[in-house]
Amino acid sequence: MPAEIIDGVAIAAKVRARVAEETAELRKRGVTPGLTAVLVGDDPASGVYVASKERACKEAGMNGKSIRLPASTSEEALLLLIDTLNNDPTVHGILVQMPLPKQISEQKVIRRIAPTKDVDGFHPFNVGKLFTGDADGFAPCTPAGVQVMLEEAGVETAGKDAVIIGRSNIVGKPMAALLIQSGKNANCTVTICHSRTKDLLAHTRRADILIAAIGKPEMVTGDMVKPGAVVIDVGINRVDDPAAPKGYRIVGDVHFEQVSKVASRISPVPGGVGRMTIAMLLANTVRAARLTLEH
| Structural domain contains residue 17 | no
Catalytic residue among 118, 120, 233, 253: 120
Q: Going residue by residue through the chain (295 aa), what tens digit of pLDDT does each one get?
A: 799 999 999 999 999 999 999 999 999 999 999 999 999 998 777 788 888 888 999 999 999 999 999 999 999 999 999 999 999 999 999 999 999 999 999 999 999 999 999 999 999 999 999 999 998 999 999 999 999 999 999 999 999 999 999 999 999 999 999 999 999 999 999 999 999 999 999 999 999 999 999 999 999 999 999 999 999 999 999 999 898 888 999 999 999 999 999 999 999 999 999 999 999 999 999 999 999 988 6
| Structural domain contains residue 72 | yes
Instruction: Examine the domain organization and report whether 165 and 239 are in the same domain.
Output: yes
Nearest of 214, 225, 278 to residue 251 by alpha carbon: 214
Is it true that the peptide bond before 270 is cis, omega within 30 degrees of 0?
A: yes
Q: Helices 8-28 and 44-59: crossing angle, nearest 10°?
A: 50
Instruction: Examine the domain organization and report whether 199 and 94 are in the same domain.
Output: no
- Which of 98, 114, 130 is a domain's end point? 114
> Is 120 part of the annotated catalytic residue set?
yes
| Structural domain contains residue 284 | no
Number of domains within the chain: 2
Residue 29 near residue 289, CB atoms below 8 Å? no
pLDDT at 138: 97
> Is 258 part of the annotated catalytic residue set?
no
Catalytic residue among 7, 14, 28, 53: 53
Pairing of strands 93-96, 230-233: unpaired
Instruction: Examine the domain organization and report whether 54 and 159 are in the same domain.
Output: no
**What is each CA distance from 101 to 73, 77, 150, 271, in whole angstroms?**
8, 13, 36, 30
pLDDT at 47: 80
Instruction: Examine the domain organization and report whether 267 and 173 are in the same domain.
Output: yes
> Is 7 part of the annotated catalytic residue set?
no
Name the residue range of residue 244's domain. 141-274
Whole-prediction pTM: 0.95
**What is each CA distance from 74 to 27, 71, 102, in whole angstroms?**
36, 9, 10
What CATH number is attached to the domain comprising 45? Answer: 3.40.50.10860
CA dihedral 282, 266, 270, 190 (to 10 degrees): 60
pLDDT at 1: 73
pLDDT at 50: 84
Instruction: Examine the domain organization and report whether 246 and 146 are in the same domain.
Output: yes
Amino acid residing at 37: A
Measured CA to CA, the distance from residue 204 to residue 210 in angstroms comes to 7
Instruction: Examine the domain organization and report whether 87 and 199 are in the same domain.
Output: no
